[in-house]
């Protein structure tokens, strides 16, 4: 039965709309979907994430990300750099991005940021990983290091307590192969809405609660909606749950090791029939921030 997954996953990447990689802990990984996020934390921030999805299925998605974003001195400018490696079945993508943001102070504690993203995508398909009946098909023989550039943009309003952002990471739709009206790989435009807010639940601010949402829309696929609820205790421990509409239920946990380092973990369990053929998805990340040399020190927060 696990072999069926390779065929299904391949079909999802071949001839249909391709979605960007998905993340359960999207509230910590905003830079990958919204360039206006660059520099918003007020310090240089390095972020690394690894996600293995649908463990036990052959060819299931596997994603690794590494990013850096930072404000430029005391200016309103932010810069970011990202690398995403995404594997699905016989396909591998490497996406390199550069982000630029400019922020406007809208109040004493809030800013409105505008961002642009330039990216380069390298796509590979390994015919040896296809099912035997497809391995000799000539239409799959020339998909090595296929390069395509792209450009995106976003807007991001944020304060010490909340945020909301709209973004389109890739404006250019790319068909990797388009012969006889057959698109072997089709990169569609993805639209994102992300929002969250932090509530203090006690007078001493030792317990904080943050609901967050992520909406993603892409042509050819159903609307994806993620909703999460996280609690932080003593600015150190984080626990929460998340629900991906008609897809998965997740448990989240995090720990602020010190002022510079934060680690997070999430476990997803499918709510669809796919749950019968895998043991869930795992996602872990580590964030490190360079506090020295900046005028203000950010307190531990969710975003």
**Tens-place pLDDT, residues 277-293:** 999 999 999 999 997 65
Residue 10 pLDDT class (50, 70, 90 cuts): very low
Residue 95 pLDDT class (50, 70, 90 cuts): very high
How many angstroms from the chain centroid is the CA of residue 295? Answer: 29
Whether 83 is covered by a domain: the verdict is: yes
pLDDT at 5 exceeding the cut of 70 = no
Whether 90 is covered by a domain: the verdict is: yes
- Give the residue-averaged pLDDT of 164-191: 75
pLDDT at 183: 53
For the chain, percent of residues with pLDDT exceeding 90: 67
Whether 121 is covered by a domain: the verdict is: yes
Residue 8 pLDDT class (50, 70, 90 cuts): very low
CATH number at residue 74: 2.40.160.40
Strand intervals (E) in 141-277: 146-159, 162-168, 174-175, 178-179, 182-183, 186-187, 190-197, 199-200, 207-218, 224-233, 237-244, 248-256, 261-270
Whether 216 is covered by a domain: the verdict is: yes
- Give the residue-averaged pLDDT of 132-160: 79
Does 269 or 220 have the greater pLDDT score?
A: 269
Residue 231 pLDDT class (50, 70, 90 cuts): very high
- Give the residue-averaged pLDDT of 25-51: 96
Q: Range with the lowest mean pLDDT among 28-37, 147-156, 183-192? A: 183-192
pLDDT at 177 exceeding the cut of 90 = no
pLDDT, averaged across the chain? 86
Q: Structure pTM?
A: 0.88
Whether 299 is covered by a domain: the verdict is: no
SS3 214: strand
Whether 298 is covered by a domain: the verdict is: no
Whether 285 is covered by a domain: the verdict is: yes
- Give the residue-averaged pLDDT of 113-123: 96
Q: Which residues pair with 128 in a beta bridge?
A: none
Q: Dump the DSSP string for 99-110.
A: EEEEEEE-SSSE
Q: Range with the lowest mean pLDDT among 101-115, 124-138, 238-252, 279-293? A: 124-138
Total domain count for the chain?
A: 1
pLDDT at 16 exceeding the cut of 50 = no
- Give the residue-averaged pLDDT of 86-109: 95
pLDDT at 265: 98
pLDDT at 13: 41
Could you list the residue range(s) of the whole structural domain that residue 277 is in? 4-290
Does 22 or 129 have the greater pLDDT score?
A: 22
Whether 300 is covered by a domain: the verdict is: no
* Distance separating alpha carbons of residues 281 and 8, to the nearest angstrom: 17
């Amino acid at each position: 039965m696990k072999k069926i997954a390779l065929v299904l996953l391949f079909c999802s990447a071949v001839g249909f709309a391709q979605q960007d990689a998905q993340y359960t802990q999207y509230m910590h990984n905003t830079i990958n979907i919204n360039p206006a996020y660059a520099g918003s934390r007020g310090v240089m921030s390095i972020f690394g994430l690894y996600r293995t999805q649908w463990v036990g299925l052959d060819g299931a998605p596997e994603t690794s990300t590494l990013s850096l974003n930072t404000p430029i001195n005391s200016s309103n400018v932010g810069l970011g750099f990202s690398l995403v490696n995404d594997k699905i079945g016989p396909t591998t993508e490497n996406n390199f991005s550069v982000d630029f943001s400019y922020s406007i102070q809208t109040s004493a504690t809030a800013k409105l940021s505008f961002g642009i993203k330039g990216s380069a995508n390298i796509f590979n398909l390994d015919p040896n990983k296809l099912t035997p009946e497809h391995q000799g098909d000539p239409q799959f023989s020339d998909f090595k290091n296929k390069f395509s550039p792209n450009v995106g943009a976003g807007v991001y309003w944020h304060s010490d307590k909340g945020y909301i952002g709209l973004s389109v990471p890739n404006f250019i739709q790319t068909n990797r192969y388009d012969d006889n009206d057959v698109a072997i790989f089709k990169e569609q435009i993805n639209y994102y809405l992300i929002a969250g807010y932090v509530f203090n639940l006690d007078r001493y601010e030792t317990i904080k609660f943050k609901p967050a949402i992520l909406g993603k829309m892409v042509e050819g696929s159903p609307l994806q909606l993620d909703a999460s609820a996280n609690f932080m205790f003593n600015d150190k421990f984080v626990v929460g749950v998340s629900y991906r509409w008609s897809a998965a239920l997740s448990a989240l946990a995090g720990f602020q090791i010190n002022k510079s380092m934060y680690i997070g973990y999430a476990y997803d369990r499918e709510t669809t029939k796919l749950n019968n053929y895998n043991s869930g998805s795992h996602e872990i990340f580590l964030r490190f921030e360079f506090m020295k040399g900046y005028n203000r020190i950010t307190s531990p927060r969710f975003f």
